[in-house]
A and B are shown apart, each in its own frame.
Chain A
Amino acid sequence: MNNLILGTAFILFGGIIIIFIKEKYKGIIQSLFTGTGMILNLMIAVDLLIKGGSIASEIIFPFPLGKIAIVIDPLASLFIALISAGGFLASLFSIGYSKQYIENKKGTASFYFFLSVLIVSMILLVIVQNALAFLILWELMGLSSFFLVIFESEKKDVLKSGLYYLIAMHLGMTFILTAFVILSIKTGSYDFAAFSLFLKGADVKINSFIFILFFTGFGTKAGFFPFHTWLPRAHPAAPSPISAIMSGIMIKTGIYGILRILLISAAPSKGLSCFFIIISVITGIYGILYAIAQKDLKKLLAYSSIENIGIIGLGIGIGMLGLSYGSSYIAILGFSGGLFHLLNHFVFKSLLFFNAGAVYLKTHTRDPENMGGLIKKMPLTSALLLIGAIAIAGLPPLNGFISEFIIYSGLINEVITGDLIVSLISIISIAALSIIGILALFCFSQVFSIVFLGSPRKPADKINEVSLSMTIPMIILSIMIFAVSFNSRFILKYIGKIAVMFTDDINAFQTDRIASDLSNITIGFSVFVLIVLILFFIRFLLLRKKKISYTGTWACGYKSYNSKMQYTASSFGSSLLSLAAPFINYKVKKESNKTIFPKSIILNTHTEDAIENLIINPAISVINKLLNLFSWMQSGNTQQYILYGIIFLALVLLYVIGVK
């Protein structure tokens, strides 16, 4: 406990002290403090995950807050570990990334300050057990991330996206607030323990209603369909390390919220669980389909985050379904699959956003159509992106596969043991998960090949590898990818402890069963690596004394081949997107003059978010119309405003006289 307070204080102190330090050293000092804080936090988090159990304590604050219960349980420990590690890596990455700001004479004090506030607010958020404190920290997290998103506020787009984000966050928060208000009215307390007592005694309808309120609020943060629209706007606007921390960790606080609510409420009903699974599946497919259509690297990654939230949600949904029909094995499979994917997504999504930042720093563009051939200029960055891409596509032998495998196992077990509806929904989810998998493969093979492979589409002479402070976080994350995938069994053991919290089944036998399946996977991976090594050796032997000649790419006999003839991201995605066009608003506009010698052809492909088009934009225009009715009030005329004051005073006077 003391370690955690000390560690968190370190991170906050780092954020404050850098205000008084020279621009050049801000990043380094802040990283040092965050790093120390991370080590202290990790000590307690890892210790708790290994030993199990939880630490409870209380802090007494002056009036409105009062007594606040603090509990560090395994669920909170996992989040503390991820938040501290992610925060440290992001500040490390920022040292190199913020050099562009320093060169442009842009102060970075606010950047590091709000970064520290964001990390601290998230750490505290996952340990408080009090609605009031939770809401305050939730708001603090939202605001600090808002200021980070609009850090480059001199750009108009950034400011616009930032405001969109701010409004989305507060709309979501309204639902959380409502749910908490209902609960505290019913219980007369702000404590989660009291809520839990009430919810576990209440009937299914109340539980479901409260859960849906919370889901709407937390789902907005997490990016569940149809509340996801802020992600593809906020992520491209934010500086890359911030996108990494937002996508890698902050949106997971939404998942944390959902999990915490599940922990304090009664076992969910079957209908609710199926609803949750269906929403998650839609989120997954929707996210990855739109990701393929994006022409902005970070927007693409934002949509891919939505997809991964869908996969995490699917895991949680399986867990809920398991709880609803009393199968603790399936519940544990589901929850540990979801949590494992959460961990994995943190690792590879942070890596990919760092990568996108590194590429942006060098190319000054986020449009893959203007890149290409970067593998020769930035070999290390591209190799790291390849690792991240394989991992996020869920392909063996990397970590993304492990969590998807656990989720698949949960689904298969449901198919076998469930009744008709459960089996049917599970088979549909299996098919959907495989579609998500293959679409992710499509998406990330496209990203990697358009950005890094082929020959440069725009002159790329000045581009070189990024600085050490940026590559080190990426290297750490890619080592983590391998470490997680080859030690999945041990990690599952600790994640299983969190999953067990959701069930009443205390014995660890269930997690052992999953662990033995995972050890098969680990053996399989090792065999695969062995086969690869043997084949490489054979290839080496075969080519040892052979002639290897280098020439241009075969262009079917065409001599003057140039880089403009390469396949582009639009052309790569076109065949799939035109098949999916009915679902995703994919529009192709082609202008060509059909003469004998055609000169210029203009091709424009375009996708718009369907939810934004169908729901959000109409809603905004209705609200605008409504509010316009009152616009005459704000005329800008001083006399009019004085009149308002006089009317108000007169009314007050009348009221006072009337009362007397």
Chain B
Amino acid sequence: MEIFINIIIILIMPFLFIGAINRTKALWAGKKGVPLFQFLYDFIKLLKKGQVISNTTSFVFQIMSVIYLASVIFACSLIPMVNHRALFSFPGDFILFAYILGLGKFLAIISAMDTGSSFEGMGANREATFSLFVEPVFFVIISSLALLTKNSSFASIFTGLDNGGWIILLIKVLIAAAIFEMILVEGSRVPVDDPNTHLELTMIHEVMILDNSGPDLAFIQYGTGLKMTAYGILIANILMPGNINVLYSALMIGGILLIIAVLIGLIESLIARYKLSRVPQFLFFISSLSLIILSLILFFKKGI
């Protein structure tokens, strides 16, 4: 039952998530907006299309989309969902989670460079540079949580977070905030990147896939949506209590994901993206947030 619901979440939520972001943005701008499942329709349409491939490219370009999507799907199988149960859980699973997403990133970078386009080079380079800041944040947060709960797998860490006083609550909120900012970076959203921009010079994620088309493009877009959803589910795990009814739990995950989507939509409506040279400052902000979480946990645990 739980596994079944988990798979449904993986399959459906990315479309709903992106749809909710776009709907929020449209409503805020006073427009009616595209249908909620427009992303799904686009996805299906892309799957039915043929492909245009650059002469410069090699086999790397062709295998990228598949490995990228596979890495995200596999990463999703590692994160706990309903009732903090994952499809696949063992001590240290979060390391595999981070590194398998790294594999997808590696493939995305080299496939962008495969086209020989300077614009895609820029995007690849920026994506690689930005993830330099996000990766340690993730590890610091999870290892601080390991220290707090004396456990080393996603599922047992999140289950261990259930009880606690106001300081645990504070830590939870801060972690949710930090992971939320990671979504903005990893999902290439405002203020780091603007998915709707059409100027190649300033794009990051979208520019890396300029030359991809047809099913490959569909795979990549779905992968990116799924990646954001995965981080969103991490937030849901931190905020929601364990040992509740399966249905409640599923609804809670869905609800928290929708709230996150609405928040992202609001941010995209309210603020402009940062100048590229300012982005590292935003990334440093996330890094310092993770250090604050670490010191709070050390304070709570060791009483310094």
Bitwise interface map of A from 216 to 256 toward B, beta carbon under 8 Å scored 1, else 0: 00000000000000000000000000000000000000000
A135 interfacial contact with B, CB 8 Å: no
What residues on B are CB-neighbors of A420 within 8 Å?
Answer: 298, 302, 304
Question: Which residues of chain A are near B63, meaning CB under 8 Å?
Answer: 536
- Residues on B with C-beta less than 8 A from A404 are 95, 99
Known: A390-B103, A543-B214. A524 touches B114 (CB 8 A): no
Q: B residues within 8 A CB of A435?
A: 132, 135-136
Check B140–A430 contact: CB distance below 8 A: yes
Contact B115 A454 (CB under 8 A): yes
Determine the chain B residues whose CB is within 8 A of the CB of A386 once the complex forms: 60, 110
Q: Is B129 touching A576 in the complex (CB atoms < 8 A)?
A: yes
Residue A548, interface by CB 8 Å? yes
Inter-chain contact A405/B113, CB cutoff 8 Å: no
**CB-contacts of B88-111 with A (<8 A):** 88, 90-93, 95-96, 98-100, 102-103, 105-106, 109-110
Which of B51, B117, B143 gathers the greatest number of chain A CB atoms within 10 Å? B143
A45→B103 CA distance, assembly (Å): 35
Contact status A375-B60, CB under 8 Å: yes
A648 within 8 Å of B (CB atoms): no
Closest CB of chain A to B227's CB: distance in Å?
Answer: 15
A376 CB-CB contact with B under 8 Å = yes
User: Could you say which of B17-25, B66-74, B232-240 contacts chain A?
Assistant: B66-74
- Within 8 Å of chain A (Cβ to Cβ): is B163? no
SS class, residues of chain A in contact with chain B: helix
A551 to B260, CA, bound (A): 40
Q: Decide if B215 touches A539 in the complex (CB within 8 Å).
A: yes
Say yes or no: A535 contacts B121, CB within 8 Å: no
Number of interface residues, chain A, beta carbon within 8 A: 84
Contact between B66 and A536, CB atoms less than 8 A apart: yes
- B152 near A571: Cβ-Cβ < 8 Å: no
Q: Provide the residues of chain A in CB contact with B124, threshold 8 Å.
A: 445, 449, 567, 572
User: Closest B-chain residue to A431, C-beta based?
Assistant: B136
**Binary CB contact string for chain B from 52 to 79 against chain A (1 if under 8 A, 0 otherwise):** 1111111110010111011101100110
B15 within 8 Å of A by Cβ?
no
Flag whether A438 is at the interface (Cβ < 8 A).
Answer: yes
Check: A412 CB closer than 8 A to any chain B CB. yes
| Contact between B103 and A396, CB atoms less than 8 A apart | yes
Q: A453–B106 Cα gap in the complex (Å)? A: 14
Interchain CB contact under 8 A, B152 and A448: no
Contact B131 A438 (CB under 8 A): yes
Instruction: Answer yes or no: A439 CB below 8 A from chain B CBs.
Output: yes
Q: Which of these, A415, A437, A438, A536, contacts B147 with CB under 8 Å?
A: A415
Residue A639 CB within 8 A of the other chain: no
Tell me which residues across on chain A come within 8 A of B51, comparing CB atoms: 543, 546-549
- A314 → chain B closest CB, angstroms: 14
With a cutoff of 8 Å between Cβ atoms, the chain B residues found around residue A452 in the complex are 58
A423 at the B interface (CB under 8 A): yes
Q: Is B144 in contact with chain A by the CB < 8 A criterion? A: yes
Residue among A386, A404, A454 having the largest count of chain B Cβ atoms under 10 Å = A454
Name the distance in Å between B192's Cβ and chain A's nearest Cβ.
14
How far is B137's CA from A435's CA once the two chains are assembled, in angstroms?
A: 10
B114 x A449 contact (CB < 8 A) = yes
Q: Does B174 contact A (CB under 8 A)?
A: no
Q: Are B116 and A517 in contact (CB under 8 A)?
A: no
Of A193-201, A276-284, A484-492, A552-560, the one touching chain B: A552-560
B92-A408 in contact (CB<8A): yes
A520: interface (CB < 8 Å):
yes
How far apart sit A435 and B131, CA to CA, in the bound complex (Å)? Answer: 10
Q: Give the interface residue-count category, chain B.
A: 35 or more
Report yes or no: A449 in contact with B52, Cβ–Cβ below 8 A.
no
Contact B135 A445, beta carbon cutoff 8 Å: no
Are A416 and B147 neighbours in the complex by a CB distance under 8 Å? yes
Question: Which residues on the B side are within 8 Å of A405 (C-beta)?
Answer: 92, 95-96
**Of the candidates B95, B116, B136, which one forms a contact with A566 in the assembled complex, judged by CB atoms under 8 Å apart?**
B116
Selecting from A83-91, A339-347, A350-358, A526-534, the interface stretch reads A526-534
Contact of A441 among B125, B128, B136 (CB under 8 A): B128
Q: Is A542 an interface residue (CB 8 A)?
A: yes
A393 interface residue per 8 A CB criterion:
yes
Please indicate the chain A residues that have their CB under 8 angstroms from the CB of B210 in the complex: 554
> Could you tell me the distance between the alpha carbons of A553 and B219 in the complex, rounded to whole angstroms?
20
Residues A554 and B117 in contact in the complex (CB < 8 Å), given A430-B139, A572-B125? yes
**Residues of the B chain whose Cβ atoms lie less than 8 Å from the Cβ of A524:** 74, 78, 88, 96
Q: Are B106 and A412 in contact (CB under 8 A)?
A: no
Cβ contact within 8 Å between A395 and B106: yes
Known: A437-B135, A454-B115, A567-B113. A548 touches B53 (CB 8 A): yes
Given the complex, which residues of B lie within 8 Å of A631, measured CB to CB?
A: none
Which of A444, A532, A573 has the largest number of chain B CB atoms within 10 A?
A532
A552 x B54 contact (CB < 8 A): yes
* Cβ contact of B105, chosen from A416, A441, A520, A567, cutoff 8 A: A441
CB pair A423 B298 closer than 8 Å: yes
Q: Which residues of A contact B126 (CB under 8 A)?
A: 575
Find out whether the CB atom of B102 lies under 8 angstroms from the CB atom of A441: yes
- Choose from B74, B110, B120, B302 the contact partner of A531 (Cβ within 8 Å): B74
Residues on B with C-beta less than 8 A from A432 are 136
In the complex, A449 Cα to B216 Cα: how many Å?
Answer: 20
Is B128 a contact partner of A423 (Cβ separation < 8 A)?
A: no
Looking at A420, A445, A531, A550, which has the most chain B CB atoms within 10 Å of its CB? A445
Chain B's closest residue to A447 (CB) is: B110
| Interface presence of B2 (CB below 8 A) | no
Is B50 in contact with A546, judged by CB distance below 8 angstroms?
Answer: yes
The closest CB in chain B to the CB of A557 belongs to: B200
B54 A553 Cβ-Cβ under 8 A: yes
Closest Cβ–Cβ distance, residue B146 to chain A (whole Å): 6
Give A184 Cβ to nearest chain B Cβ, in Å: 45
Q: A434-B139, A535-B66, A552-B56 are in contact. Are A396 and B113 (CB under 8 A)?
A: no
* A615 neighbours in B (Cβ, 8 Å): none
In whole angstroms, how far apart are the Cα atoms of A424 and B291 in the complex? 11
Q: Which 3 A-B pairs have the closest CB atoms?
A: A567-B121, A449-B113, A454-B116
Residues of chain B having any CB pair with chain A under 8 Å = 47-60, 63, 65-67, 69-71, 73-74, 77-78, 88, 90-93, 95-96, 98-100, 102-103, 105-106, 109-110, 113-122, 124-126, 128-129, 131-132, 135-136, 138-140, 143-144, 146-147, 150-152, 200, 210-211, 214-216, 219, 280, 294, 298, 302, 304
A-B contact pairs, 18 of them (CB 8 A): A375-B60, A390-B103, A393-B106, A408-B92, A411-B143, A419-B302, A434-B135, A437-B102, A441-B102, A453-B113, A454-B113, A535-B69, A535-B70, A535-B219, A547-B51, A548-B50, A549-B52, A549-B53
Extra inter-chain contacts (10) besides given A543-B215, A566-B117, A572-B113, CB under 8 Å = A375-B58, A382-B58, A411-B143, A432-B136, A442-B132, A517-B90, A547-B50, A549-B53, A553-B56, A566-B121
